Structure 1
Amino acid sequence: MNEAPKNENTANETPLEDAPTHEALWEVNAMAAAMHARPLGDLPATISGLSIDTRTLSPGDAFFAIQGDRFDGHDFLTAATKAGAALHVVSEQKLPALGRVQSPLLVVDDVLKAMSRLAEAARARSKATIVAVTGSVGKTTTKEALRHGLSAEGSVHASAASFNNHWGVPLSLARLPRDARFAIFEIGMNHPGEIRPLVKLVRPHMAIITLIAAAHLGHFRDLDEIAEAKAEIFEGLVADGTAILNADDPRCGPLATMARKAGVTGIRTFGETVGADYRLLSFEPAGDGAVMEAVIDGETVRVELASRGRHMAQNILAVLGAASLAGADVHRVAAALKDWRAVKGRGGRDRLPMPAGGHIELIDESYNANPASMRAALDVLATTQPGEGGRRIAVLGDMLELGDSARDLHAGLIEPIEAAGADIVFLAGEEMKALDDVLESRVKREWHENPGELLDSLLKTIRTGDVVMIKASKSIGFSPLVDKLLALYPPTAATTDAPGTPAGDAQSPAPSPADDIDPAGAAT
């Protein structure tokens, strides 16, 4: 089996990433020097990309044999060679067992550490304007919107999917092309101290904190402690760098104070709050999407969006503010966002044709969930009008890592469920029993022990005109529910809301627990 290392606590995903646009990403001599590597064999002059997964390795890539919790990349060197790897980066300690490998090698003390050294070299040679994004919600969505919007102004490199942890950030940075104009990196955590070393690698010109919310609350005392962990991102800002904070977040003030303590003098804010530097003027649903107007540096900017979720406005304000600070034409960036779509599992929408005619509307929020992202997803459900005879159906699974607050936070979803006008609620997971209890006699609902049982009942229930929104923490396993619906009722090209990012050249292990969750279902 030709799999790369995976973390046992996470599920697989197919990430999206910008495909290589240059024949040579690295000259091998420079790469070896940066990694302190010992060359063995007939090495090529250049490599075209970096991979840690043989399943999606492209010919000409360098394969990094990373040691994971469950898999060791050194076990897949033969598969990497067959896939066209130009060379392998391997550990000195593993070398005695690699006698049969005839491919060119770069031998290093530790493969992950060597990749981090290569990331440092990539940062040192880059002249790109670099943005780092963190936050409990909205991070992946903001990163992807930045990628799409800034592409109207020049070449953009961005981390794939939610590659935001101790291997994802170095890999993404090491893949940074020399001549990219912009680079966007997502940085995540679920424990204190995890952002600090990553942001010091990236050294961004701007650091966005989208929002502080109850993601991974089980690992923290309270939201203030989460804010302190997120504020580590300020420590890596370059001199004269800028912190971009959510003015509508109650912890905006404390975050600004922490930024100043870290030596940050440039602080900008976004939101609806009077006095925000990048301020939302209006947000109105329009057709299948929405139209928003904002004031960015004294100019009114109009943005047409494919999503109806009001939470998207916060993300887009941060995008426009960062674009302005980067010297981009904000109106061109705003125009480009008209074509941007949420990606699979993070708010992607499909119209699924039904056998009897008509369709159902599927809102895929299956990638992850916390209380803030649940509320945002239910708001999207509320603003989506069912077809004739249709109903609003919420399919919800457990929100994990909430600690002692789990029961109350699950039960607290009754308010946004009722506000969304949900006609039927399907629930799965032990934690969702708390919500099942409070929904009794108030909203038609079904609780199931697992997603498989839920799916059987859901398939018997749905009918033409329904709007179905699916959301849960990633490891609950709700993405197969979406896949099953798509397989049973395949959407045509005209009825699907396709991802707004290009397919990538590399599939890697799913993000580690150093994740946060965004309102579109993304990991942080």
Structure 2
Amino acid sequence: MKAITVSDILIATKGTLIRGNKTQRITDVCIDSKSIPSEATLFIPLKGERVDAHKFIDNAIENGAIGCIVSDLLKVPENVQIVIEVADTKKALQDIGAYYRKTRDIKLVGVTGSVGKTTTRELTAAALMAIGRENVYQTLGNRNSQTGVPLTLCDIADEKLGVIELGISEEGEMDILTEMAELDAAIITVIGVAHIQQLKSQENICREKMAITKGLKADGCILINGDDQFQRDYRSKLNHKSYLYGTAEDCDFRATDIKQQADGMSFNFHAEGKVYEAYIPIMGMHNVVNATAALGAACVLGVDVNEAIKSIADFKGVKMRQQILEKNGFTVIDDSYNANPDSMKAGLKVLADYELKTCGRKIALLADMKELGDDEVHYHEEIGGFAAGMPIDMLLTVGTLAESIGKICRTKNKSIITIHFDDNAQASEYLNTKLKAGDILYVKGSRSMALDEVVKALK
């Protein structure tokens, strides 16, 4: 964060200065009392359903914070130098993020969607870094929420281009995020069924994701997935300039001649009437589509296409998102960060298309997919049917819901060996005794299933 003053904070939040000097410089805002980044930090305690962080103000001050923004003055210790009172601390954080964003001369791309947000964000950042790594900002970690986005915005310094991730799980949430961000361009990845429990239908999910345009600047643009019919159907309702990306013939940014290589994907990238040879060092047709979005964003922001293509060729991938790990003679595709039906199908396709170096086996370890609402069993059975059509050797499952994946697969394709485990410990023990040199193991499940524990336990 470039330094602003207490006076700026008061303007942004419409808060009341209870204690302190309006000219005091502030270099950080923070919501974690244990991680105070600098002496000129304001701690903002949030009130959650279970915990009111006002009780951690003492800790924040002990750890170096200069002051706090609060909604409960009774919980403020006497030794706090700066105290600002507001009605709602979460809203104050968002107001600061929005205010600070207006002070930054940066062109921002926002990425949202049901599947592939983080990988697309990282690919987009890689493409933009053709102008120099030091000139590009991107969301750190998974800070894509109502509290994460304002913290992300406050991290921007003097970068020229940036990409941020916007995640939603409830109606109206995107309005808050996008209006803070004031985007120059937006990317929608795929409209799937993630968070369908809260949003009820894919049509509703599409509408909420498309609300990202509410925060687009008047001359901004949106890149929508031309391979996604939900987005195509919604396109006529958009007021901003829109581009299609993907593999369909009418896409403005298109991938053709897609080939899976030993360690990545090669393809031809079509843009503005020209064709370019491109390569990404990650697997999967879906990631090629993500790459066309990233390169498309680079194009609309004026980045040289050839340089952007060179830049994404050095992409390192994202931890626990189809991360390829070489173990003791066998290979693991660690895709354990999270899961929904669309991403699980895409991952199984990557496993199916993977070229074995020796005569090993293709093995999938799948766990429950959460937040799928009343149709959760149906979605797991659907994965079972999909897996049955894949050229894999074994399907291992963990979790009550995932058990139905194996049952359906076994019913439809008896040549695939299916085994169910009660927990990750059982799965780890089995794999450590059965995996052989040349095997490839694909690992996928919702975050709460913690399949990364299995990956770490593999010897």
TM-score, normalised by the number of residues in structure 1: 0.80
The question of whether the paired residues in 2 share the 8 Å contact of 1:387 and 1:464 is answered with: no
2:89 counterpart of 1:114: no
The question of whether the paired residues in 1 share the 8 Å contact of 2:6 and 2:21 is answered with: no
The match for 1:142 among 116, 120, 123 is: 120
The question of whether the paired residues in 2 share the 8 Å contact of 1:308 and 1:383 is answered with: no
User: How far apart in 1 are the matches of 2:201 and 2:279?
Assistant: 37
User: How far apart in 2 are the matches of 1:207 and 1:296?
Assistant: 18
The question of whether the paired residues in 1 share the 8 Å contact of 2:184 and 2:216 is answered with: yes
**Secondary structure of 2:269's match?**
strand
User: How far apart in 1 are the matches of 2:371 and 2:55?
Assistant: 33
**Secondary structure of 2:245's match?**
strand
The match for 2:250 among 275, 280, 296 is: 275
**Secondary structure of 2:32's match?**
coil
Output the amino acid matched with 2:186. A
**Secondary structure of 2:170's match?**
coil
Runs of 5+ consecutive residues of structure 2 not aligned to the other structure: none
The question of whether the paired residues in 2 share the 8 Å contact of 1:129 and 1:183 is answered with: yes
Corresponding residue number in structure 1 for 2:231: 252
The match for 2:206 among 203, 215, 227 is: 227
Q: What does the per-residue CA deviation read over 1:100-136, in whole Å, with 9 as the maximum and x for residues that have no partner?
A: 5445444433221111111121222222112111111
**Secondary structure of 1:66's match?**
coil
**Secondary structure of 2:8's match?**
helix
2:43 counterpart of 1:63: yes
**Secondary structure of 2:164's match?**
strand
Deviation of residue 42 (structure 1)?
7.1
Query: Using a 3 Å threshold, how does the CA distance of structure 1 residues 27 and 149 change in structure 2: closer, same or farther?
Result: farther
The question of whether the paired residues in 2 share the 8 Å contact of 1:283 and 1:290 is answered with: yes
User: How far apart in 2 are the matches of 1:392 and 1:423?
Assistant: 5
2:190 counterpart of 1:214: no
Deviation of residue 323 (structure 1)?
0.8
Corresponding residue number in structure 2 for 1:16: none
Corresponding residue number in structure 1 for 2:348: 378
Corresponding residue number in structure 2 for 1:238: 217
**Secondary structure of 2:366's match?**
strand
User: How far apart in 1 are the matches of 2:18 and 2:311?
Assistant: 45
Q: Report how many aligned residue pairs link the two structures.
A: 452
Deviation of residue 55 (structure 1)?
4.3
User: How far apart in 2 are the matches of 1:71 and 1:339?
Assistant: 43
Corresponding residue number in structure 1 for 2:279: 304
User: How far apart in 2 are the matches of 1:55 and 1:304?
Assistant: 42
Pairs within 5 Å for 1:57-96: 57-60=36-39, 61-85=41-65, 87-93=66-72, 95-96=73-74
Corresponding residue number in structure 1 for 2:144: 164
User: How far apart in 2 are the matches of 1:302 and 1:334?
Assistant: 8
Deviation of residue 326 (structure 1)?
0.7
User: How far apart in 2 are the matches of 1:335 and 1:28?
Assistant: 44
User: How far apart in 1 are the matches of 2:451 and 2:200?
Assistant: 29
Deviation of residue 470 (structure 1)?
1.0
User: How far apart in 2 are the matches of 1:484 and 1:91?
Assistant: 44
The question of whether the paired residues in 2 share the 8 Å contact of 1:81 and 1:103 is answered with: no
Query: Using a 3 Å threshold, how does the CA distance of structure 1 residues 32 and 289 change in structure 2: closer, same or farther?
Result: same
The question of whether the paired residues in 2 share the 8 Å contact of 1:350 and 1:362 is answered with: yes
Output the amino acid matched with 1:188. G
Deviation of residue 30 (structure 1)?
2.6
Output the amino acid matched with 1:456. E
Runs of 5+ consecutive residues of structure 1 not aligned to the other structure: 1-21, 490-524
User: How far apart in 2 are the matches of 1:347 and 1:79?
Assistant: 39
The question of whether the paired residues in 1 share the 8 Å contact of 2:387 and 2:409 is answered with: no
**Secondary structure of 1:150's match?**
helix
2:416 counterpart of 1:443: yes
2:442 counterpart of 1:469: yes
Output the amino acid matched with 1:319. A
Query: Using a 3 Å threshold, how does the CA distance of structure 1 residues 480 and 146 change in structure 2: closer, same or farther?
Result: same
The question of whether the paired residues in 1 share the 8 Å contact of 2:385 and 2:408 is answered with: no
Deviation of residue 334 (structure 1)?
1.4
Q: Which has the higher mean CA deviation after the structures are superposed, 215-224 or 309-318? A: 215-224
User: How far apart in 2 are the matches of 1:138 and 1:200?
Assistant: 22
Query: Using a 3 Å threshold, how does the CA distance of structure 1 residues 377 and 209 change in structure 2: closer, same or farther?
Result: same
2:11 counterpart of 1:36: no
2:424 counterpart of 1:454: no
**Secondary structure of 1:205's match?**
strand
Corresponding residue number in structure 2 for 1:98: 76
Q: Which has the higher mean CA deviation after the structures are superposed, 324-333 or 441-450? A: 441-450
2:174 counterpart of 1:195: yes
**Secondary structure of 1:109's match?**
coil
User: How far apart in 2 are the matches of 1:29 and 1:44?
Assistant: 6
TM-score, normalised by the number of residues in structure 2: 0.91
Corresponding residue number in structure 2 for 1:494: none
The question of whether the paired residues in 1 share the 8 Å contact of 2:70 and 2:83 is answered with: no
The question of whether the paired residues in 2 share the 8 Å contact of 1:25 and 1:175 is answered with: no
User: How far apart in 1 are the matches of 2:61 and 2:373?
Assistant: 45
Corresponding residue number in structure 2 for 1:430: 400
2:380 counterpart of 1:410: yes
Deviation of residue 385 (structure 1)?
3.2
Query: Using a 3 Å threshold, how does the CA distance of structure 1 residues 248 and 113 change in structure 2: closer, same or farther?
Result: same
Q: As a proportion of its length, which structure holds more helix?
A: 2
2:452 counterpart of 1:479: yes
Output the amino acid matched with 1:434. S
Corresponding residue number in structure 2 for 1:500: none
User: How far apart in 2 are the matches of 1:147 and 1:49?
Assistant: 24
Query: Using a 3 Å threshold, how does the CA distance of structure 1 residues 45 and 482 change in structure 2: closer, same or farther?
Result: farther
Output the amino acid matched with 1:318. A
Pairs within 5 Å for 1:387-398: 387-398=357-368
2:164 counterpart of 1:185: yes
Output the amino acid matched with 1:323. A
2:308 counterpart of 1:344: no
